Amino acid sequence: MAQQRFTSIEEAVERIRRGEQSLREELIAACLPAVRPTIRQAARQLRLDEADCVSIGMEMLNLAIDRFKPDSHVPFIQYARLIIRNRLIDCYHRQEKQPRTLPFTDCESPD
Between residues 28 and 95, the one the model is more confident about: 28
Pseudo-torsion of CA 22, 27, 30, 34, nearest 10°?
A: -160
C-beta separation of 87 from 56 below 8 A? yes
Tens digits of residue pLDDT in 37-49: 999 999 999 999 9
CA atoms within 13 A on the CB side of 55: 6
pLDDT tens digits along 53-110: 999 999 999 999 999 998 889 999 999 999 999 999 999 998 887 766 656 565 555 5
Q: What is the 3-state secondary structure (H, E, C) of 87-101?
A: HHHHHHHHHHHCCCC
pLDDT interval class at 4 (50, 70, 90): confident
